[in-house]
Chain A
Amino acid sequence: MNQKLFFGAPPPNVDPARLCGKLIVIEGLDSSGRTTQVSLLSDWLEEQGNAVIQTGLKRSELVSESLEQAKKGNVLSPRTVSLFYATDFYDQLENRIIPSLKAGFVVIADRYIYTLMARDILRGADPEWLKILYSRAIIPDAVFFLNVDCNSLLDRTLQSRGKLDYWESGMDIGYAREWYDSFMIYQQNMRVEFRKLHKEFHFNVINANRSQRTIHNELKKKIELMLEK
């Protein structure tokens, strides 16, 4: 019996008893190497014979397009954005994650409610409000947080994209006029928020300043143990 637990009550019409798959969350700041690790894990798990499905943020059929548009215009208030992302999240939870868990898949989530909460808290949302908002979510079987220091993040971002992103630099918050300054302050503050979330939700923190291979091997070991249970 592998009954999934929810942070609060499950959403209407969802029977927790029938969710026999596994939900693995990879969390981390932007450019922490999440996406690479998700794809390595996904390949590896499939080689082992597990059916795997990936999810992430802003991928719902329902609102991802509108959300993308709204982000471009930068015209929504922070609370509206919070709710928009929450809609996107629950759409994927109920239409993708839950059906996959029912069918016994391993679901790998490239970020989960934690990134959403940290981002919103920096933009003035009340943590208690957010916690209740996301209380219908499934508690993952494991949350791995890829921990990278701020300077490496900056390097990785600049190397891979050649420029800073408006949102990832927190420019909408108005910390600083310079993108560089804003990026450093924003990412530092995100780390602080994640540290608080880690205390509360008990992440499995992975030192991600190392090579992709090393990180992958460590994740594999931990996930193997988890799947044996």
Chain B
Amino acid sequence: MKNEINGEEIKGKLIAVEGLDGSGKSTQVHLLYKWLLGNGYKVFFTEWNSSDLVKEATKKGKKRQLLTPTTFSLIHATDFTDRYERQILPMLKAGYIVLCDRYIFTSYARDQVRGCDPDWLRNIYRHVILPDIVFYFQLPLEVSLSRILDGRPALKYFEAGMDMNLSPDPYMSFRLFQGRVKEQYELMVEEFHFTVLQAELLILQQQEKMKEVVKSKINLSLYRKGVQ
């Protein structure tokens, strides 16, 4: 994996977590962030779909169900690129460990399920640096489904993949959609060297495992605050 851009060495390290809704990735990356922060490391955390400027348009598009597969993909790419250029890349150049709750692989998986052409998708993100570690939370589909669906929550239209007309029932639609997204994730494991976490461990154990991987792949002593 490249750790330079246009010949410029990138000092920082990039860690991403990916997986289905309900796979536990957000909990784990939050804990990892707290651990790194608490131990005095230079660390920055950012999550999918959170850029201030694009948020409003995204919200509007989702609420009014205006989005097509193409604009769904592009509006998330706009959001990502805003965060990438304003935060992720500068942080990496400044020597931070950057943690991302979802990265470009979320778009590759979801948008491909919605019918976007894979080459077109990859072109959009082709300037983007690949993470040093991608943790992929590989739960059995039923487990992540039940974590989300057991409370019978009000599922959002796009979240449930309702735009794809898989089923008129949002819960069934969600199941089918998530199943297809999972398939796409599995296809990327090898290509993008995902570190697979078979995620039925207890939260504490899972976290220990992540820390081990991080320690083995990143020389953390270089990222202490005050170290240049």
Contact of A75 with B81 at beta-carbon distance under 8 Å, contacts A12-B69, A62-B67 already known: no
Tell me whether B124 and A90 are in contact (CB under 8 A): no
Does A151 belong to the interface (CB within 8 Å)? no
Annotate A129-152 by CB proximity to B: 1 below 8 A, 0 otherwise. Answer: 100110110000000000000000
Restricting to A178-212, which residues have a CB under 8 Å from any CB of B? none
B51 and chain A: residue at smallest CB distance:
A80
Q: Kindly identify which residue among B81, B116, B120 contacts A77, using a CB–CB cutoff of 8 Å.
A: B81
B85 partner residues in chain A, CB cutoff 8 A: 77, 79-80
- Docked CA distance A75–B190 (Å): 38
A12 partner residues in chain B, CB cutoff 8 A: 68-70, 114-116
B119 partner residues in chain A, CB cutoff 8 A: 132
Does A56 belong to the interface (CB within 8 Å)? no
Does A218 belong to the interface (CB within 8 Å)? no
- Docked CA distance A61–B124 (Å): 23
Does A127 belong to the interface (CB within 8 Å)? no
**Stretch from B22-30, B38-46, B54-62, B207-215 at the A interface:** B54-62
Does A175 belong to the interface (CB within 8 Å)? no
Contact of A70 with B53 at beta-carbon distance under 8 Å, contacts A12-B115, A13-B68, A86-B74 already known: yes
B53 partner residues in chain A, CB cutoff 8 A: 66, 69-70, 75-76, 80
Does A83 belong to the interface (CB within 8 Å)? yes
Does A11 belong to the interface (CB within 8 Å)? yes
Tell me whether A87 and B78 are in contact (CB under 8 A): yes
- Docked CA distance A90–B120 (Å): 14
Tell me whether A62 and B78 are in contact (CB under 8 A): no
Annotate A55-85 by CB proximity to B: 1 below 8 A, 0 otherwise. Answer: 0000001110111011000011101100110
Most-contacted residue by chain A among B64, B71, B119 (CB, 10 A):
B71
How far, in Å, is B38 (CB) from chain A's closest CB? 32
Q: Kindly identify which residue among A65, A70, A84, A133 contacts B123, using a CB–CB cutoff of 8 Å.
A: A133
How far, in Å, is A71 (CB) from chain B's closest CB? 11
Contact of A94 with B68 at beta-carbon distance under 8 Å, contacts A129-B123, A129-B126, A132-B123 already known: yes
- Docked CA distance A136–B69 (Å): 12
B120 partner residues in chain A, CB cutoff 8 A: 8-9, 132-133, 135-136
16 further A-B pairs in the complex, CB-CB below 8 A; given A62-B60, A66-B57: A8-B117, A11-B69, A62-B67, A62-B71, A62-B75, A66-B53, A66-B54, A76-B53, A80-B53, A80-B82, A87-B57, A87-B78, A90-B74, A94-B70, A129-B127, A135-B120
Can you report 20 residue pairs joining A to B where beta carbons are below 8 Å apart? A11-B70, A12-B69, A13-B68, A13-B69, A62-B57, A63-B57, A63-B75, A75-B53, A77-B81, A77-B82, A80-B53, A83-B74, A84-B78, A86-B74, A87-B57, A90-B70, A91-B71, A95-B68, A132-B119, A132-B123
A contact residues vs B (CB 8 Å cutoff) = 8-9, 11-13, 61-63, 65-67, 69-70, 75-77, 79-80, 83-84, 86-87, 90-91, 94-95, 129, 132-133, 135-136
